[in-house]
Amino acid sequence: MRLREFKPSVTIFFWKLYSADVLRKYDLKFNGRAKMKHRKFGIFIGKKIIRLLILLMVVCIASFWLIEQSPIDPVRAYIGEMSIQPEQRALLEEYWGVNTPSHEKFFNWAKNLLNGDFGVSLIYRMPVTHVIKERFTASLILMASSWLLSGVVGFILGIIAGMNSGSLIDKAIKTYCYVLIATPTFWLALILLLVFSVYLGWFPVGLSVPIGLTAEEVTLFDRIQHLILPTLTLSVLGVAQIAMFTREKLIEVLSSDYVLFAKARGEKGLDLVLRHGVRNVALPAITLQFLGFSELFGGAVLVEQVFSYPGIGQATVAAGLRSDVPLLLGIVLVSTVFVFLGNLIADIIYEFIDPRIKQQEATQ
Protein backbone atom coordinates (compact mmCIF):
# COMPACT_ATOMS: atom_id res chain seq x y z
CA MET A 1 0.00 0.00 0.00
CA ARG A 2 1.27 3.41 -0.83
CA LEU A 3 0.43 5.58 2.14
CA ARG A 4 3.63 7.52 1.81
CA GLU A 5 1.97 10.63 0.52
CA PHE A 6 -0.63 10.76 3.20
CA LYS A 7 1.45 10.21 6.25
CA PRO A 8 2.32 13.87 6.72
CA SER A 9 -0.59 15.95 7.78
CA VAL A 10 -2.89 17.22 5.12
CA THR A 11 -1.71 20.78 5.56
CA ILE A 12 1.86 19.81 4.88
CA PHE A 13 0.65 17.94 1.86
CA PHE A 14 -1.07 20.99 0.44
CA TRP A 15 1.83 23.18 1.39
CA LYS A 16 4.06 20.85 -0.57
CA LEU A 17 1.67 21.06 -3.46
CA TYR A 18 1.80 24.82 -3.29
CA SER A 19 5.51 25.25 -2.75
CA ALA A 20 6.48 22.64 -5.29
CA ASP A 21 4.40 24.51 -7.76
CA VAL A 22 6.15 27.77 -7.06
CA LEU A 23 9.51 26.02 -7.38
CA ARG A 24 8.53 24.44 -10.64
CA LYS A 25 7.63 27.78 -12.07
CA TYR A 26 11.01 29.17 -11.06
CA ASP A 27 12.64 26.09 -12.51
CA LEU A 28 11.11 26.62 -15.85
CA LYS A 29 12.32 30.13 -16.30
CA PHE A 30 8.89 31.28 -15.38
CA ASN A 31 10.39 33.78 -13.01
CA GLY A 32 8.03 36.45 -14.19
CA ARG A 33 5.03 34.28 -13.61
CA ALA A 34 6.00 33.47 -10.05
CA LYS A 35 6.52 37.14 -9.34
CA MET A 36 3.16 37.86 -10.82
CA LYS A 37 1.72 35.28 -8.52
CA HIS A 38 3.10 37.03 -5.47
CA ARG A 39 1.78 40.31 -6.73
CA LYS A 40 -1.59 38.72 -7.23
CA PHE A 41 -1.55 37.48 -3.68
CA GLY A 42 -0.72 40.99 -2.50
CA ILE A 43 -3.64 42.46 -4.41
CA PHE A 44 -5.91 39.75 -3.06
CA ILE A 45 -4.92 40.46 0.54
CA GLY A 46 -5.20 44.21 -0.03
CA LYS A 47 -8.74 43.84 -1.29
CA LYS A 48 -9.61 41.66 1.68
CA ILE A 49 -8.25 44.23 4.13
CA ILE A 50 -10.36 46.96 2.57
CA ARG A 51 -13.34 44.67 2.81
CA LEU A 52 -12.60 43.98 6.46
CA LEU A 53 -12.42 47.69 7.23
CA ILE A 54 -15.77 48.32 5.59
CA LEU A 55 -17.24 45.35 7.43
CA LEU A 56 -15.93 46.61 10.77
CA MET A 57 -17.37 50.05 10.11
CA VAL A 58 -20.78 48.62 9.33
CA VAL A 59 -20.67 46.33 12.35
CA CYS A 60 -19.68 49.27 14.58
CA ILE A 61 -22.58 51.40 13.41
CA ALA A 62 -25.10 48.57 13.52
CA SER A 63 -24.19 47.28 16.96
CA PHE A 64 -23.94 50.79 18.38
CA TRP A 65 -27.38 51.58 17.06
CA LEU A 66 -28.80 48.36 18.52
CA ILE A 67 -27.34 49.16 21.92
CA GLU A 68 -28.71 52.70 21.74
CA GLN A 69 -32.16 51.28 21.09
CA SER A 70 -31.97 48.84 23.96
CA PRO A 71 -33.13 49.87 27.45
CA ILE A 72 -29.63 49.68 28.91
CA ASP A 73 -28.85 51.99 31.79
CA PRO A 74 -25.12 52.46 32.27
CA VAL A 75 -25.62 53.94 35.72
CA ARG A 76 -27.56 50.92 36.87
CA ALA A 77 -24.89 48.67 35.38
CA TYR A 78 -22.19 50.58 37.19
CA ILE A 79 -23.74 50.75 40.68
CA GLY A 80 -25.30 47.35 40.54
CA GLU A 81 -27.96 46.76 43.22
CA MET A 82 -26.91 49.75 45.35
CA SER A 83 -29.52 52.41 46.02
CA ILE A 84 -28.37 56.00 45.62
CA GLN A 85 -29.61 59.56 46.00
CA PRO A 86 -31.10 61.32 42.94
CA GLU A 87 -28.30 63.94 43.10
CA GLN A 88 -25.61 61.28 42.99
CA ARG A 89 -27.46 59.64 40.15
CA ALA A 90 -27.48 62.88 38.20
CA LEU A 91 -23.74 63.20 38.73
CA LEU A 92 -23.14 59.66 37.52
CA GLU A 93 -25.40 60.22 34.55
CA GLU A 94 -23.33 63.19 33.59
CA TYR A 95 -20.14 61.21 34.06
CA TRP A 96 -21.34 58.37 31.81
CA GLY A 97 -22.81 60.81 29.36
CA VAL A 98 -26.33 59.43 29.45
CA ASN A 99 -27.81 62.61 28.06
CA THR A 100 -25.29 63.24 25.31
CA PRO A 101 -26.84 62.98 21.83
CA SER A 102 -26.39 59.58 20.14
CA HIS A 103 -24.20 60.69 17.27
CA GLU A 104 -21.84 62.49 19.63
CA LYS A 105 -21.59 59.35 21.73
CA PHE A 106 -20.81 57.31 18.68
CA PHE A 107 -18.10 59.63 17.47
CA ASN A 108 -16.50 59.76 20.89
CA TRP A 109 -16.47 55.99 21.03
CA ALA A 110 -15.21 55.62 17.48
CA LYS A 111 -12.43 58.14 18.13
CA ASN A 112 -11.30 56.20 21.17
CA LEU A 113 -11.45 52.94 19.19
CA LEU A 114 -9.15 54.38 16.55
CA ASN A 115 -6.71 55.24 19.30
CA GLY A 116 -6.86 51.65 20.49
CA ASP A 117 -8.94 52.50 23.53
CA PHE A 118 -11.90 50.16 23.83
CA GLY A 119 -12.97 51.66 27.13
CA VAL A 120 -13.23 50.10 30.57
CA SER A 121 -15.36 47.08 31.30
CA LEU A 122 -18.06 47.94 33.82
CA ILE A 123 -18.24 44.51 35.42
CA TYR A 124 -14.57 43.55 35.45
CA ARG A 125 -13.35 47.07 36.16
CA MET A 126 -10.41 46.82 33.82
CA PRO A 127 -9.67 47.84 30.23
CA VAL A 128 -11.78 45.94 27.70
CA THR A 129 -8.70 44.99 25.66
CA HIS A 130 -7.26 43.34 28.73
CA VAL A 131 -10.42 41.34 29.44
CA ILE A 132 -10.75 40.25 25.83
CA LYS A 133 -7.12 39.19 25.62
CA GLU A 134 -7.34 37.06 28.70
CA ARG A 135 -10.71 35.53 27.88
CA PHE A 136 -9.93 34.98 24.25
CA THR A 137 -6.75 33.07 25.02
CA ALA A 138 -8.70 30.69 27.23
CA SER A 139 -11.36 30.23 24.57
CA LEU A 140 -8.85 29.84 21.79
CA ILE A 141 -7.48 26.65 23.36
CA LEU A 142 -11.01 25.33 23.71
CA MET A 143 -12.06 26.32 20.22
CA ALA A 144 -8.86 25.19 18.52
CA SER A 145 -8.90 21.75 20.12
CA SER A 146 -12.56 21.15 19.37
CA TRP A 147 -12.12 22.51 15.87
CA LEU A 148 -9.30 20.08 15.20
CA LEU A 149 -11.12 17.20 16.85
CA SER A 150 -14.34 17.76 14.95
CA GLY A 151 -12.41 18.17 11.71
CA VAL A 152 -10.39 15.00 12.03
CA VAL A 153 -13.14 12.79 13.45
CA GLY A 154 -15.72 14.16 11.05
CA PHE A 155 -13.48 13.66 8.06
CA ILE A 156 -12.63 10.08 8.99
CA LEU A 157 -16.27 9.22 9.68
CA GLY A 158 -17.26 10.80 6.38
CA ILE A 159 -14.66 8.80 4.48
CA ILE A 160 -15.74 5.56 6.12
CA ALA A 161 -19.40 6.25 5.38
CA GLY A 162 -18.76 7.36 1.81
CA MET A 163 -16.58 4.35 1.07
CA ASN A 164 -19.25 1.98 2.25
CA SER A 165 -22.23 4.00 1.10
CA GLY A 166 -25.48 2.13 1.48
CA SER A 167 -24.05 -0.37 3.92
CA LEU A 168 -24.96 -0.79 7.57
CA ILE A 169 -21.97 1.19 8.79
CA ASP A 170 -22.89 4.07 6.48
CA LYS A 171 -26.44 4.05 7.84
CA ALA A 172 -25.13 4.02 11.39
CA ILE A 173 -22.87 7.01 10.78
CA LYS A 174 -25.65 8.84 8.96
CA THR A 175 -28.10 8.26 11.79
CA TYR A 176 -25.50 9.36 14.29
CA CYS A 177 -24.93 12.57 12.34
CA TYR A 178 -28.63 13.35 12.03
CA VAL A 179 -29.07 12.88 15.76
CA LEU A 180 -26.08 15.11 16.46
CA ILE A 181 -27.32 17.85 14.14
CA ALA A 182 -30.69 17.81 15.87
CA THR A 183 -29.17 18.00 19.34
CA PRO A 184 -29.02 21.40 21.04
CA THR A 185 -25.48 22.10 22.22
CA PHE A 186 -26.42 23.23 25.72
CA TRP A 187 -28.56 20.13 26.27
CA LEU A 188 -25.72 17.85 25.22
CA ALA A 189 -23.39 19.79 27.51
CA LEU A 190 -25.76 19.22 30.42
CA ILE A 191 -26.06 15.51 29.69
CA LEU A 192 -22.28 15.07 29.47
CA LEU A 193 -21.89 17.02 32.67
CA LEU A 194 -24.47 14.84 34.39
CA VAL A 195 -23.00 11.56 33.23
CA PHE A 196 -19.26 12.16 33.36
CA SER A 197 -18.91 14.73 36.11
CA VAL A 198 -21.77 14.08 38.48
CA TYR A 199 -22.39 10.31 38.23
CA LEU A 200 -19.00 9.03 37.18
CA GLY A 201 -16.92 11.82 38.65
CA TRP A 202 -14.28 11.53 35.95
CA PHE A 203 -14.14 15.21 35.15
CA PRO A 204 -14.59 18.41 37.14
CA VAL A 205 -18.00 20.07 37.03
CA GLY A 206 -16.83 23.40 35.70
CA LEU A 207 -14.24 26.17 35.39
CA SER A 208 -10.89 25.89 33.65
CA VAL A 209 -8.72 25.25 36.71
CA PRO A 210 -9.34 23.68 40.14
CA ILE A 211 -10.74 25.99 42.81
CA GLY A 212 -8.51 27.17 45.63
CA LEU A 213 -5.14 26.88 43.93
CA THR A 214 -2.75 29.64 42.99
CA ALA A 215 -1.80 29.99 39.38
CA GLU A 216 1.58 28.35 40.00
CA GLU A 217 0.04 25.28 41.54
CA VAL A 218 -2.16 24.49 38.54
CA THR A 219 -0.69 21.69 36.44
CA LEU A 220 -1.07 21.11 32.73
CA PHE A 221 -3.00 17.96 33.58
CA ASP A 222 -5.51 20.05 35.54
CA ARG A 223 -6.03 22.32 32.60
CA ILE A 224 -6.47 19.43 30.18
CA GLN A 225 -8.90 17.69 32.50
CA HIS A 226 -11.01 20.81 32.67
CA LEU A 227 -10.89 21.17 28.91
CA ILE A 228 -12.04 17.69 27.88
CA LEU A 229 -15.81 17.91 28.37
CA PRO A 230 -16.25 21.40 26.91
CA THR A 231 -14.11 20.43 23.93
CA LEU A 232 -16.09 17.27 23.39
CA THR A 233 -19.39 19.12 23.48
CA LEU A 234 -18.23 21.86 21.20
CA SER A 235 -16.76 19.50 18.62
CA VAL A 236 -19.81 17.28 18.40
CA LEU A 237 -21.82 19.63 16.23
CA GLY A 238 -18.92 20.19 13.87
CA VAL A 239 -18.39 16.44 13.51
CA ALA A 240 -21.84 15.89 12.07
CA GLN A 241 -21.51 18.64 9.54
CA ILE A 242 -18.08 17.76 8.24
CA ALA A 243 -18.86 14.03 8.20
CA MET A 244 -22.00 14.49 6.12
CA PHE A 245 -20.20 16.81 3.75
CA THR A 246 -17.21 14.49 3.36
CA ARG A 247 -19.48 11.52 2.78
CA GLU A 248 -21.44 13.30 0.07
CA LYS A 249 -18.32 14.57 -1.62
CA LEU A 250 -16.57 11.20 -1.50
CA ILE A 251 -19.54 9.45 -3.08
CA GLU A 252 -19.43 12.04 -5.83
CA VAL A 253 -15.70 11.50 -6.33
CA LEU A 254 -16.04 7.72 -6.32
CA SER A 255 -18.60 7.86 -9.10
CA SER A 256 -16.42 10.15 -11.20
CA ASP A 257 -14.84 9.18 -14.48
CA TYR A 258 -11.33 9.34 -13.08
CA VAL A 259 -12.10 6.84 -10.36
CA LEU A 260 -13.65 4.58 -12.97
CA PHE A 261 -10.43 4.82 -14.95
CA ALA A 262 -8.34 4.17 -11.84
CA LYS A 263 -10.41 1.03 -11.33
CA ALA A 264 -9.86 0.07 -14.94
CA ARG A 265 -6.16 0.31 -14.22
CA GLY A 266 -6.41 -2.14 -11.37
CA GLU A 267 -6.66 0.17 -8.38
CA LYS A 268 -9.17 -0.79 -5.76
CA GLY A 269 -10.30 -0.71 -2.16
CA LEU A 270 -8.74 1.51 0.47
CA ASP A 271 -5.79 2.31 -1.76
CA LEU A 272 -8.08 3.80 -4.36
CA VAL A 273 -9.93 5.87 -1.76
CA LEU A 274 -6.69 7.17 -0.30
CA ARG A 275 -5.10 7.92 -3.64
CA HIS A 276 -8.02 9.65 -5.31
CA GLY A 277 -10.80 10.07 -2.75
CA VAL A 278 -8.96 11.76 0.09
CA ARG A 279 -6.97 13.87 -2.32
CA ASN A 280 -10.07 15.32 -3.91
CA VAL A 281 -12.22 15.61 -0.80
CA ALA A 282 -9.65 17.13 1.55
CA LEU A 283 -9.54 20.59 0.03
CA PRO A 284 -13.28 21.31 0.09
CA ALA A 285 -13.59 19.73 3.53
CA ILE A 286 -10.85 21.92 5.00
CA THR A 287 -12.45 24.94 3.37
CA LEU A 288 -15.76 24.08 4.98
CA GLN A 289 -14.09 23.63 8.33
CA PHE A 290 -12.65 27.14 8.14
CA LEU A 291 -16.02 28.54 7.16
CA GLY A 292 -17.37 27.03 10.38
CA PHE A 293 -15.59 29.60 12.57
CA SER A 294 -18.82 31.50 13.17
CA GLU A 295 -20.61 28.43 14.47
CA LEU A 296 -17.61 27.64 16.60
CA PHE A 297 -17.92 31.03 18.26
CA GLY A 298 -21.66 30.66 18.73
CA GLY A 299 -21.19 27.21 20.20
CA ALA A 300 -18.49 28.47 22.56
CA VAL A 301 -20.95 30.93 24.08
CA LEU A 302 -23.33 28.13 25.04
CA VAL A 303 -20.73 25.60 26.10
CA GLU A 304 -18.74 28.00 28.22
CA GLN A 305 -21.93 29.08 29.94
CA VAL A 306 -22.87 25.53 30.90
CA PHE A 307 -19.37 24.57 32.02
CA SER A 308 -18.69 27.97 33.65
CA TYR A 309 -15.55 28.01 31.53
CA PRO A 310 -14.05 31.50 31.81
CA GLY A 311 -13.72 32.23 28.11
CA ILE A 312 -14.89 34.84 25.69
CA GLY A 313 -18.30 33.21 25.32
CA GLN A 314 -19.05 33.47 28.98
CA ALA A 315 -17.82 37.06 29.02
CA THR A 316 -20.22 37.80 26.15
CA VAL A 317 -23.18 36.49 28.10
CA ALA A 318 -22.12 38.35 31.22
CA ALA A 319 -21.59 41.59 29.31
CA GLY A 320 -24.99 41.25 27.67
CA LEU A 321 -26.92 40.42 30.82
CA ARG A 322 -25.24 43.02 32.95
CA SER A 323 -25.25 45.87 30.43
CA ASP A 324 -21.47 46.10 30.07
CA VAL A 325 -21.65 48.06 26.83
CA PRO A 326 -17.92 48.68 26.21
CA LEU A 327 -17.08 45.01 26.70
CA LEU A 328 -20.00 43.82 24.58
CA LEU A 329 -19.06 46.09 21.70
CA GLY A 330 -15.43 45.06 22.04
CA ILE A 331 -16.32 41.39 21.84
CA VAL A 332 -18.55 42.00 18.83
CA LEU A 333 -15.65 43.61 16.99
CA VAL A 334 -13.16 40.92 17.93
CA SER A 335 -15.50 38.11 16.95
CA THR A 336 -16.13 39.84 13.64
CA VAL A 337 -12.41 39.76 12.91
CA PHE A 338 -12.23 36.13 14.07
CA VAL A 339 -14.98 34.92 11.74
CA PHE A 340 -13.59 37.05 8.93
CA LEU A 341 -10.22 35.37 9.36
CA GLY A 342 -11.83 31.94 9.01
CA ASN A 343 -13.48 32.98 5.77
CA LEU A 344 -10.27 34.55 4.56
CA ILE A 345 -8.30 31.35 5.09
CA ALA A 346 -11.00 29.41 3.27
CA ASP A 347 -10.75 31.86 0.37
CA ILE A 348 -6.97 31.58 0.28
CA ILE A 349 -7.15 27.79 0.16
CA TYR A 350 -9.72 27.98 -2.54
CA GLU A 351 -7.99 30.51 -4.75
CA PHE A 352 -4.31 29.90 -4.20
CA ILE A 353 -3.86 26.27 -3.26
CA ASP A 354 -6.29 24.49 -5.55
CA PRO A 355 -4.29 24.16 -8.78
CA ARG A 356 -7.40 24.25 -10.91
CA ILE A 357 -8.60 27.65 -9.71
CA LYS A 358 -5.08 29.01 -10.03
CA GLN A 359 -4.94 27.94 -13.63
CA GLN A 360 -8.30 29.41 -14.50
CA GLU A 361 -7.22 32.76 -13.18
CA ALA A 362 -3.95 32.61 -15.06
CA THR A 363 -5.73 32.08 -18.34
CA GLN A 364 -8.23 34.84 -17.77
Partner 1 sequence: MTSNAEITVERTKGDEALLKVKDISLSFSQYTSGLRKTEIKVISNLSMEAYSGEVLAVVGSSGSGKSLLAHAILGILPSNAKLSGKMEYKGQELTQERKEKLRGNEIALIPQSVNYLDPLMRISDQVIGNVEKKSEKLMKELQRDIFHKYDLKSDVDRMFPHELSGGMARRVLVSTALMNSSKLVIADEPTPGLDEKNLNETLSYFRDMANKGCAVILITHDIEAALKISDKIAIFYAGTILEEANIEDFKNDGENLRHPYTRALWNALPQNKFQAIKGHQPMQDEVIDGCFFYERCSIRDEHCSKGTPQLKMINEGLVRCNNVS
Residues found near partner 1 in the complex (CB under 8 A): 2, 4, 20, 24, 28, 256-258, 260-268, 271-272, 275-276, 279-280, 283, 354-356, 359
Cβ proximity to partner 1: between 111 and 263 the closer is 263
Question: Residue 272 Cβ, how far from partner 1 at the closest point, in Å?
Answer: 8
Using DSSP, state whether 120 is helix, strand or coil.
strand
DSSP state of 8: S
Question: Residue 104 Cβ, how far from partner 1 at the closest point, in Å?
Answer: 57
Burial 156-190 (b: 16+ CB within 10 A, else e): ebbbbbbbebeeeebeebbeebeebeeeebeebbe
Cβ proximity to partner 1: between 255 and 308 the closer is 255
Question: Residue 51 Cβ, how far from partner 1 at the closest point, in Å?
Answer: 29
Q: How far apart are CA 168 and CA 172, in angstroms?
A: 6
Cβ proximity to partner 1: between 4 and 125 the closer is 4
CB distance 339 to 294 below 8 Å:
yes
Question: Residue 176 Cβ, how far from partner 1 at the closest point, in Å?
Answer: 25
Q: How far apart are CA 361 and CA 351, in angstroms?
A: 9
Cβ proximity to partner 1: between 250 and 283 the closer is 283
Cβ proximity to partner 1: between 170 and 354 the closer is 354
Question: Residue 110 Cβ, how far from partner 1 at the closest point, in Å?
Answer: 47
Amino acid occupying residue 113? L
Question: Residue 287 Cβ, how far from partner 1 at the closest point, in Å?
Answer: 14
Cβ proximity to partner 1: between 30 and 96 the closer is 30
Burial class of residue 14 in the structure, from the number of CB atoms within 10 Å of its CB (0-12 exposed, 13-18 middle, 19+ buried) = middle
Q: How far apart are CA 56 and CA 336, in angstroms?
A: 7
